[in-house]
Amino acid sequence: MTTTLSIRDLARNTNILQHYDYVDVEDKKSHEYKGLFISPKYADEFRKLLEKKIMDERQRELDEILQFVGIATIDEKYNNMTSSQLREARALRL
């Protein structure tokens, strides 16, 4: 069962949570969503789902960064050249 409760209702009686699997918490005055309570029987399943989502987001961000790895590498033969020597070598290559 699910329900929506106010913060004041939870402060008065936390035993209400025992009767529900999923409880939305909102501020009744401003109708601002404050959070969520999940029944202990679903907590492990939800935690695994949340960890998977976080890992997927981190992997996506890492993949975005890794696409640029190696773009600015320089060939060994150009390591000890000055800027004018590099321009000259580039002009000869073109």
Q: How far apart are CA 47 and CA 53, in angstroms?
A: 10
Cα angle 65, 69, 74; round to 5:
155
Which of 32, 12, 9, 34 has the alpha carbon at shortest distance from 24? 34
3-class secondary-structure state, position 3: strand
CB 27 within 8 A of CB 6: yes
Overall pTM > 0.75: no
Decide if pLDDT at 71 tops 80: no
pLDDT of residue 6: 87
Neighbours of 23 (CB within 10 A): 20
* Percent of residues, the chain, with pLDDT higher than 70: 99
